[in-house]
Structure 1
Amino acid sequence: MTMPHTELARGDIAIRRLHKAFSLDGQPFDVFRDLNLHIESGQSIAIVGPSGCGKTTLLRILAGLEQPDAGEVIIDGRAVQGMSRERAVIFQEPRLLPWLSVLDNVSFSLDVQGKSKTQARLRAKQSIELVGLSQYENALPGQLSGGMAQRVGIARALAIDPEILLLDEPLGALDAMTKITMQEELERIRATENITMVLVTHDLEEAIYLADRVLILPKEKGNAIRIIDVNLPRPRERSDGAFVALRQQLMAEFGLH
């Protein structure tokens, strides 16, 4: 039964009684059951948990790439049935077309949407400037570092002017220093664009740095899903005592010290 779609602002995400199961050795295996969550427009949510707990599955359902077995996701008053330009996905690998320049990679999705070449290039240039790569517009992906290539992927996602940015471990393949730089870049973009962000990550420090709330999915089914509020001022200092204490709290959730 579809639940009434009420009291949702534009860009809000309502996850209602969501259930998803897979078959494991011929037996049904619940990824999550009866999941409820309201994400307000402009909020940043991090999804953390051990491998196999359903983080990427949940993100794919939000993106419209998979359908739940029961329940629904409501965005802009409509149940998510498939992909939409209001939701942009950034994966761990930027998946750039190697024969196209940075500018052409970013404008490609706009060309597909039917934008004129002039409109597409203007918007692509604005998006590339936002991620600080204006001087690399004519470079090919093979000429970019890993961090720069991921910036291009972010620029491509932002170019379609989405309401919601869905990020599936986008910084997981980067070295430690580049990852910190890119976390700061994502925080700057979030503040500048006032965009709703849902981030899947294994990095607990990254979750605290970027998120307003951290959603903890348990590995053992039947255990409660936890939500931790990150009530720290932005921009956040990783060495701040409250930041360190929250990181220790999250580590304790997973039996880490």
Structure 2
Amino acid sequence: MTATDILQGEVALRNLSKSYSLNGQSLPVLRNLSLNIRGGEALAIVGPSGCGKTTLLRLLAGLEPADGGQVLIDGQEVSGVGTERAVIFQEPRLLPWLSVRDNIGFGLELRGQPRSAARERAERFIRLVGLAGFEDAWPRQLSGGMAQRVGIARALAVQPEILLLDEPFGALDAMTKLTMQEELTRIWQEQAVTMVLVTHDLEEAIFLADRVLVMSRDRSAPRLIDIALPRPRDRSHPDFVDMRRQLMAQFGLH
């Protein structure tokens, strides 16, 4: 593949390894993981607690260093955080002293955009995430789902190539979670970003992802499963139900 063949937002992991120290001993979390994430695709990462899902996401985000291996974005090795990546956590972590508009524009101002331009761009993403009319609301006035919409808008406003999400809807009630999954699908399709999502919810992974990376606690090689279902996806369709059954079988569930 030549440089001109590389899609924007393409990620390559090469022999990525990470260990932590526990009681004076080295505990391996990732061992020589290699993976290609296509530009513009949605990849979900699933697995039991402690299998390394969030560690992998943090390495992709540059929030901590790997012990070995490489992370390449668009063919270039990266280390540390970068403007081409944005992270959304389970808690939206909004600044309580700023309005919705100013929370979304905050990152743009940090990057040197004039306040007027940042606010104008924030307005666009307020509309994108369905919060028109709440521009001047304070974080304390928002529901959990609305606050997470602000977090998504704030991440997208800085125009990342890659959106990294760590259990973004884990704290939401069931109905709000379903709504936000549909909204995230719409936003991902409109913005054409690469999306990497960590989730414990197998149905969420099937609904959102093009492929699912299945990780395990025994550090065996993760398995990649294609989600060859048309969009929009119907959770009640037999093919969706069958895919959920297949994914559950990866964990010995029925």
* Length-normalised TM-score, structure 1: 0.95
Indicate the residue corresponding to 2:250 in structure 1: 253
Indicate the residue corresponding to 1:244 in structure 2: 241
Indicate the residue corresponding to 2:125 in structure 1: 127
SS at match of 1:38: strand
Indicate the residue corresponding to 1:103 in structure 2: 101
CA displacement at 1:249 relative to structure 2: 1.1
| AA at the equivalent of 2:94 | L
Deviations 1:97-126 (A, max 9, x none): 111110011111111111011110111111
Indicate the residue corresponding to 1:67 in structure 2: 65
Report % sequence identity: 64
How far, CA to CA, are the matches of 1:110 and 1:139 in structure 2? Answer: 19
1:56 aligns with 2:54: yes
Is contact 1:46–1:200 with CA below 8 Å preserved after alignment?
Answer: yes
Q: 2:164 aligns with which of 143, 163, 166?
A: 166
| AA at the equivalent of 2:163 | L
Is contact 1:62–1:80 with CA below 8 Å preserved after alignment?
Answer: no
CA displacement at 1:224 relative to structure 2: 2.7
Indicate the residue corresponding to 2:148 in structure 1: 150
CA displacement at 1:82 relative to structure 2: 1.1
How far, CA to CA, are the matches of 2:189 and 2:5 in structure 1? Answer: 25
Is contact 1:15–1:37 with CA below 8 Å preserved after alignment?
Answer: yes
Indicate the residue corresponding to 1:226 in structure 2: 223
Is contact 1:6–1:77 with CA below 8 Å preserved after alignment?
Answer: no
How far, CA to CA, are the matches of 1:8 and 1:197 in structure 2? Answer: 17
How far, CA to CA, are the matches of 2:233 and 2:8 in structure 1? Answer: 27
Which ranges in structure 1 are unaligned for 5 or more consecutive residues?
none
| AA at the equivalent of 1:98 | P
SS at match of 1:74: strand
- Aligned-CA RMSD value: 1.4
Give the length in aligned residue pairs.
Answer: 253
CA displacement at 1:255 relative to structure 2: 1.8
| AA at the equivalent of 1:181 | T
Deviations 1:128-184 (A, max 9, x none): 110010110000011111000000000000110111000000000000000000000
SS at match of 1:215: strand
SS at match of 2:133: helix
Deviations 1:48-94 (A, max 9, x none): 00001110100011011111111001002221211111100000000
Is contact 2:33–2:221 with CA below 8 Å preserved after alignment?
Answer: no
How far, CA to CA, are the matches of 2:23 and 2:225 in structure 1? Answer: 34
Deviations 1:193-249 (A, max 9, x none): 11110000000000000000000111113x231111000001100001111111111
